[in-house]
């Protein structure tokens, strides 16, 4: 697999299976990121469903590649992607989270570009993602070439995810 070095000194991006670090980053990120969008109960439920170490290991076994961005050796952000529609060579950006202390430094852009380069190197033609309709991150994705292709309501346990599906060519 090709490694695309980020153009920022002191930053590394590498594949990881360190579920403990991913768990810590998710728990530090979710409440500040989603407190204006989701109820505390929904945030806690989703963390319990998606970000236990066991759940993260299962996601890796199911084909998600996790990337960890470190700032001077300290874990600061992570992303995960996987092949979504093999026949169409569509990859999915499953996750991208930046620890609140590191937001606004361009790390989201670095991770997104890294995921796109990796998916393209694997033969990907498009990258797709889900984003909550009230999540300001949708503007970040639009700025990076993603377009809304669908509006969906997805049952998730006792909750419903109100998302846009966004896609961009690679």
Tens digits of residue pLDDT in 125-164: 999 999 999 999 999 999 999 999 999 999 999 999 999 9
Is residue 5 in a domain? no
| pLDDT tens by residue, 73-85 | 999 999 999 999 9
d(CA 96, CA 152): 20
**Rounded mean pLDDT, 32-61:** 96
Q: Per residue in 37-60, is it b (16+ CB within 10 Å) or e — as a string?
A: ebeeebbebbbeebbeeeebeebb
Number of independent structural domains in the chain:
1
Is 4 among the domain residues?
Answer: no
Given this model, what pLDDT does residue 10 score? 85
pLDDT at 157: 96
* pTM > 0.75: yes
Distance in angstroms (rounded) separating the CA atoms of residues 51 and 62: 15
Domain membership flag for residue 6: no
pLDDT of residue 2: 47
CATH number for the domain that contains residue 29: 3.40.630.30
3 domain residue, yes or no = no
- CA dist., res. 147 & res. 165, Å (int): 8
**Is residue 50 in some structural domain?**
yes
Does residue 2 sit within a domain? no
Give me the mean pLDDT over the 13-32 stretch: 97
Domain hosting residue 145, numbered range: 11-169
The rounded distance, in Å, linking the Cα atoms of 110 and 67 is: 11
């Amino acid at each position: 697999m090709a490694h695309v070095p980020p153009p920022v000194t002191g930053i590394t991006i590498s594949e990881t299976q360190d579920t403990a670090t991913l768990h810590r980053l998710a728990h530090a990120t979710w409440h500040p990121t989603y407190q204006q969008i989701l109820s505390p109960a929904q945030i806690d439920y989703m963390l319990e469903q998606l970000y236990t170490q066991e759940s993260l290991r299962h996601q890796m076994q199911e084909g998600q590649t996790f990337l960890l961005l470190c700032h001077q050796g300290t874990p600061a952000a992570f992303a995960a992607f996987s092949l979504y529609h093999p026949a169409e060579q569509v990859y999915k950006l499953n996750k991208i989270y930046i620890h609140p202390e590191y937001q606004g430094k361009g790390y989201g852009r670095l991770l997104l570009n890294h995921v796109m380069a990796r998916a393209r190197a694997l033969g990907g033609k498009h990258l797709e993602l889900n984003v909550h309709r009230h999540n300001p991150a949708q503007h970040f994705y639009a700025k990076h070439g993603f377009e809304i292709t669908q509006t969906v309501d997805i049952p998730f346990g006792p909750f419903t995810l109100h998302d846009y599906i966004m896609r961009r060519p690679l």
